Amino acid sequence: MRGQRSGRIVNVSSVLGFLPAPYMALYSASKHAIEGLAETLDHEVRQFGIRVSLVEPSFTNTNLDLNAPQAMSKISAYSKELDIVSQAIQRNVQKAPPPQGVADTIVRAALGAWKMRHTPKGEASMLAKLRRFMPAGPVGKGVRKSFGLA
């Protein structure tokens, strides 16, 4: 890419990279890291005509929830809420759109006009707008409610 003085690097993050959810700390932290990496790398490589973009999907109907690592030992004080959140995640994944929307967004991020953040149509786009334009308190309350927490 440096040699041809052009290119696009597309990193797949998640809405959890900018809007953390309960009981998803490790996943959210990894997505925050991808966001920071992409933004920093974009500053470094644009001198060579290369740009970096992020794709930030929300729930997608895949087997991610089934393949997610589980803790070896759980702290019982959290088990009630963790069960509620786990069930909410499964429901959201089952009713989520198929991966094709994310794939289409990746293609647009790679081949379209450059912009840093790309969210698939639907929930991901709505969450990005909420995070950007609403105060943190109501957004956090909405996140907790959507995961079944008081």
- Tens-digit pLDDT profile for the chain (150 aa)? 999 999 999 999 999 999 989 999 989 999 999 999 999 999 999 999 999 999 999 999 988 767 776 777 889 999 999 999 989 988 988 899 999 999 999 999 999 999 999 999 888 898 988 888 999 999 999 999 999 998
Taking CA atoms, 5 is separated from 1, 54, 99, in Å, by 6, 20, 32
Domain residue limits, the chain: 7-146
Q: Are 129 and 114 in contact (CB under 8 A)?
A: no
Helix, strand, coil percentages in the chain from 3-state DSSP, rounded to 5: 55, 10, 35
Q: Where are the beta strands (DSSP E) in 32-144?
A: 50-55, 117-118
Domain 7-146 has CATH 3.40.50.720: yes
Catalytic residue set: 27
- 109: which 2 tokens? 């991020």
